[in-house]
Structure 1
Amino acid sequence: MNKNILLIGGSQGIGRAIVELLQEQYSIFVASRTKNGLQETSITHITFDVLSGDLDLSLLPDRIHGFVYCPGSIDLKPFKMLSTKTFEDDMQLNFFGLVKVLKAIMPQMAEGSSMVFFSTVAVNTGMPFHTSVAASKGAIEGFAKALAAEYAPKIRVNVVAPSLTDTPLAKRLLSNDKKRETMAQRHPLKRIGQPEDIAHMVHFLLDTKSDWMTGQVLNVDGGMSSLNMN
């Protein structure tokens, strides 16, 4: 059976790497604001802004076997410089956008399907200047575990928590060679993440090879969350 995978986001960064890895194996549906070259691939693109629109369910298949929610934010500032609106915006994009989409697609999720959400290493490991993003991603971790319990055994729900990954979202943090080297040296494996590192974990979680896993938060972070190399 040809399985259908829906990604929210997927035109760049980690989402794009997931699309490129999966498109030969699955029927891929990407709902995002821009195509960014996706029209040249075999996937089905649906124009969708999670903050302002509703997903057109008529463009989706009757049964969805895998779901990945990719939107995220990196707004790293001291707490005293973050407005309340920044916290609200991060929560809207990272958490409430996810809830809105799930409310719409749950009736179409197939028996034995798999969902993958994204957190951040900063939830498990306290880091300065991460209060807003850690709060919204922390909400995802708690939500995912509760959802996994509620929908087992029909739907599996897992979370991937990356460290800094070389994507357009992180370009301000990786804007020159010195910054890139500094960030690489903070990780025990002495490099920053690549989109493909995360995409391979998502592939595993969507595949039947992981079908005895649910309610897990998996750190793909170069050892950042668990190893102290000082």
Structure 2
Amino acid sequence: MKTIIVIGGSKGIGKALISSLLSSYDNIVNISRTEPAISGGNITHYSCDILTDDLPDIESADGLVYCPGSINLKPINRLSIEDFQDDFNLNVIGAVKAIQKYLPALKKGNNPSIVLFSTVAAKLGMPFHASVAASKSAVEGLTKSLGAELAPTVRVNAIAPTVTNTELASKLLRNDSMIEKMNERHPLKKILQPEEVADMAKFLLSDKASSLSGQIFEMDCGIVSFKL
């Protein structure tokens, strides 16, 4: 019986991931503030705020995915120190808290894997991304450091998506014109759908990715990789 813990599986990529995992895993544990609108007998939900609440005890797990993130886009002179602290707490400290809590359970698992999330803004300089890029760059450093520290027992990888069509990115995709312009910015003339990112996370959790650790996978639709 395989158990996957998803932190923040009620919306966006996390919800898409849970939907994708339903057919492949015996037990999916979702930890988030709200329950996902997904039916399935193998989902256990715990209502929890990752930053303020105690996390539930789980005896054994084969995978951990930390999905919470932020898109706090402001000019540097409008970003407060609290903005930087809030983004860092959600993106980095929350992930560290989850990993520290569930590492003993993961070490009991079968080919256990941790999946974190970065952003293309950690590689590609973008105006107004100072806070989120700083915190997600820390996630990338955490991924590589823990990948080395936990080898060969636990694999650790991160996905760095470009703009993904989720509620979190709704301000960037408010209308058809904005969506078209965002598509045009990418060499592949598209942005990501949450299901695409979820499929990558599912792959990294699986035994098919047993040789991968400490890697940052840029799902960028070409915006970082190509100059056309």
CA deviations over 1:188-209 (Å, ceiling 9, x no partner): 1111110011011111101111
TM-score in terms of structure 1 length: 0.95
Aligned residue for 1:224? 223
Measured after TM superposition, the shift of residue 111 of structure 1 is 5.0
1:15-164 correspondence runs (5 A): 15-26=14-25, 27-38=27-38, 40-42=39-41, 43-57=43-57, 60=58, 62-109=59-106, 110=109, 112-164=111-163
Aligned residue for 1:166? 165
Measured after TM superposition, the shift of residue 52 of structure 1 is 1.2
Q: State the alpha-carbon separation in 2 of the partners of residues 36 and 115 from structure 1.
A: 21
CA deviations over 1:117-166 (Å, ceiling 9, x no partner): 00000001111110000000000100110101011000000000000000
Q: State the alpha-carbon separation in 2 of the partners of residues 112 and 193 from structure 1.
A: 28
Aligned residue for 2:191? 192
Amino acid paired to 1:87: F
Q: State the alpha-carbon separation in 2 of the partners of residues 138 and 20 from structure 1.
A: 28
Do the aligned partners of 2:147 and 2:214 also contact (CA within 8 Å) in 1? yes
1:198-217 correspondence runs (5 A): 198-217=197-216
Amino acid paired to 2:33: R
TM-score in terms of structure 2 length: 0.96
Q: State the alpha-carbon separation in 2 of the partners of residues 87 and 138 from structure 1.
A: 13
Do the aligned partners of 1:111 and 1:155 also contact (CA within 8 Å) in 2? no
Structure 1: tracts of 5 or more residues without a match: none
Q: State the alpha-carbon separation in 1 of the partners of residues 206 and 36 from structure 2.
A: 27
Structure 2: tracts of 5 or more residues without a match: none
Cα RMSD (Å): 0.9
Q: State the alpha-carbon separation in 2 of the partners of residues 111 and 184 from structure 1.
A: 40
Measured after TM superposition, the shift of residue 36 of structure 1 is 3.6
Measured after TM superposition, the shift of residue 112 of structure 1 is 2.0
Amino acid paired to 2:47: T
Q: State the alpha-carbon separation in 2 of the partners of residues 219 and 17 from structure 1.
A: 19
Q: State the alpha-carbon separation in 1 of the partners of residues 94 and 71 from structure 2.
A: 16
Q: State the alpha-carbon separation in 1 of the partners of residues 203 and 45 from structure 2.
A: 23
**SS of alignment partner, residue 85 of structure 1:** helix
Q: How many residues align?
A: 224
